[in-house]
Structure 1
């Protein structure tokens, strides 16, 4: 189990491998982001995307899915997230792309008022199969400290 006390500024992790499917792009868009360029090849061809593109929110969801899978393999004393800053969609994500993630610890801060926990600020970048960054954000996660047994 990875606790706050085990984390240091500069630590990096690489993980994931998520194939983006046309069916998933359409299903997500129909339910959560029904803009024409997420739903129609013809409409997307008339935009700067040039073809059907995944919603940025879908890209965020795929990134979260990869992160959760990583946490299953490498358990953490997570207490959830406190927020996300500086979210940027850098390049379109298309059906057929294969995504992966890299994170880097920017800050580790034990809580002043709750000694059993603290926070970790991470930079998260999602890349496509060409190693081009498609999404970047800074996440603030809450974590338990190592028990004092």
Structure 2
């Protein structure tokens, strides 16, 4: 990694093994070498060799920039990724609360429907063709 102290507004360095960091550095250098060779030569033997001149070879454009900057770049990337995940978790929690509230509404409505059905059944049992208004309002959960 790097011994450069991080300021409070910078994310902490990502913990990588030496092998992981070397693999990422190698990938960056390989891409850089491919890019510069392609823009300057275009021979078909690359990356094994370059037939146009002895000056181009894999590794000619290697740089320490990846070793120096990669840990900081990955730290920022991981912070951004974590922020995105945190936002998604917040969104899912809000959705969950809304769904729980809706379930409570539906359960209350079901309870009121059951109360009205019982009221109607009781009226039928007594051979009544009407239901007391106060009892109906009470069963519906409405104030008299």
Normalised by the length of structure 1, the TM-score is 0.23
Higher strand share: 1
Higher helix share: 2
Q: Which has the larger radius of gyration?
A: 2
| Bigger RCO (CA 8 Å, 6+ sep) | 1
